[in-house]
Amino acid sequence: MNTPPFQGVWHPGGSLGHRQFATLFEGALELEAGGRLAPVDVAYETWGSLDPSRSNAVLVLHALSGDSHAAGPAGPGHPTPGWWDGLIGPSAPIDTSRFFVVCPNVLGGCQGTTGPASPAPDGLPYGSRFPAITIRDQVAVEAALADHLGIDRWAAVIGGSMGGMRALEWCIGHPERVQRGILLAVGAVATAEQIGLCSLQVRAIRADPAFRGGDYYYSGGRPAAGLAIARGIGQMSYRTADELEARFNNAQQSTDDPLNRGRYAVESYLEHHGDKLASRFDPNSYVVLSEAMSHHDVGRGRNGLASALSQIVATMTVAGISSDRLYPLKLQYEIASLLPSHTEVGVIDSLIGHDGFLVEVSGVGNVVLAALARDGARNL
């Protein structure tokens, strides 16, 4: 049977928007933690043109709640504008008049790539049957997509947060296929705080009675309330105390209550962001991807971080956000200190916190532009 149009999930029959598709692993993707998936559909978008030598391809990797729509307006098939719209395009830092840019929706996602809402071989959504996946599994899918596109080596692989995890795994697991790596707001291994915050968000979703163990697709409801709370928890770690204080202080929204017992403005802000995500994202995908982030450890099975990072041969750019409390600068300095060649850490000044890698278009753009200008990149 066909998968129905679940809320927050791209489904066959929906508007393609700018998506393209590849079907990979007809023989099965063997997963790092055990289990397998076959086949794997990947939704991706492209900008610019691949040159005859196929040497100008740039892979852009999205974070937890992103998708393949990295650039372009909202419209049919794309409920929001591109999440890095200011960074990708003609004469932009990732200049599509020079580079062929590819952005895939990640394995486990909900915007066209195989994930929990996708039909399993029996035609029903995977739901609770979707296997545990890791960042390395996601990169294995992206490597297969590169093969499908005929791209042997990326001119650059770029990502922030969860996208940065995958960019780092690309540089370690496929060193010969990456000319330069650009890592933003990420660490080499998940910290206890990051794992704990992911755990709380996952628990909020699973505690919603509508979750039904992950098999809610045909129940007539979905755990939107649990996902909205999870997003609120995340939002508190993505922004800084100073920014929240400057924007909201202890202000309350207008009320007729003589004791002024209205909602605080910051409460409304968190509810808005939670409801907004719940309307466009699948709760199961949020669980699967959050748990993949918690498993992030480039040193696993590679004799530790130092040994893993020593395998990198790409020219590296590492940058972070000055006020990031979720992925603080010390994590980027740790990566840089273990790379084979001397690497300075770029610091993007921002009051915002972790979300600065998405919001600070000028600062991030300067870092990316400088990285892509290195080693004759302008001649690609």
- Confidence at residue 317, expressed as pLDDT on a 0 to 100 scale: 98
239 φψ region: left (φ > 0), alpha (ψ -120 to 50), beta (else): beta
- How far separated are the first and last CA of the chain, in Å rounded? 47
Q: Rounded CA gap, 281 and 67, in Å?
A: 10
Which residue is listed with tokens 């002024």? Answer: 260
Annotated catalytic residue within 67, 282, 324, 355: 324
For the chain, which residues make up each domain, given as ranges?
20-190+298-379, 195-292
Q: Rounded CA gap, 181 and 71, in Å?
A: 20
348: confidence class by pLDDT, cuts 50, 70, 90: very high
- Going by C-alpha positions, the residue among 152, 121, 136, 106 that lies closest to residue 38 is 121
Q: Quick check: 48 pLDDT over 80?
A: yes
379: confidence class by pLDDT, cuts 50, 70, 90: very low
- Per the annotation, the verdict on 95 as an active-site residue is no
Rounded mean pLDDT of 105-130?
A: 97
- Per the annotation, the verdict on 337 as an active-site residue is no
- Confidence at residue 3, expressed as pLDDT on a 0 to 100 scale: 41
Rounded mean pLDDT of 54-72?
A: 98
- Confidence at residue 26, expressed as pLDDT on a 0 to 100 scale: 87
- Confidence at residue 195, expressed as pLDDT on a 0 to 100 scale: 98
CB 116 within 8 A of CB 201: no
- Confidence at residue 255, expressed as pLDDT on a 0 to 100 scale: 66
Over the stretch 65-87, which tens digit does the pLDDT of each residue have?
Answer: 999 999 999 999 999 999 999 99
Annotated catalytic residue within 18, 78, 296, 354: 354
CB 227 within 8 A of CB 202: no
Task: Work out the mean pLDDT of the chain and round it to a whole number.
Answer: 94
Q: Rounded CA gap, 48 and 72, in Å?
A: 13
Q: Does the domain spanning 195-292 belong to CATH 1.20.1050.10?
A: no
- Confidence at residue 220, expressed as pLDDT on a 0 to 100 scale: 85
252: confidence class by pLDDT, cuts 50, 70, 90: confident
Pick from 11-25, 95-109, 130-144: least confident: 11-25
183: confidence class by pLDDT, cuts 50, 70, 90: very high
Annotated catalytic residue within 161, 285, 294, 323: 161
Rounded mean pLDDT of 333-339?
A: 98
Give pTM, 2 decimals.
0.95
Q: Rounded CA gap, 47 and 205, in Å?
A: 35
Burial class (CB in 10 A: 0-12, 13-18, 19+), 163: buried
Q: Quick check: 2 pLDDT over 60?
A: no
> What's the fold here for domain 20-190+298-379?
Rossmann fold (3.40.50)
CB 41 within 8 A of CB 22: yes
- Going by C-alpha positions, the residue among 292, 291, 8, 44 that lies closest to residue 125 is 8
- Per the annotation, the verdict on 161 as an active-site residue is yes
C-alpha distances out from residue 132 to 80, 87, 156, Å: 28, 32, 28
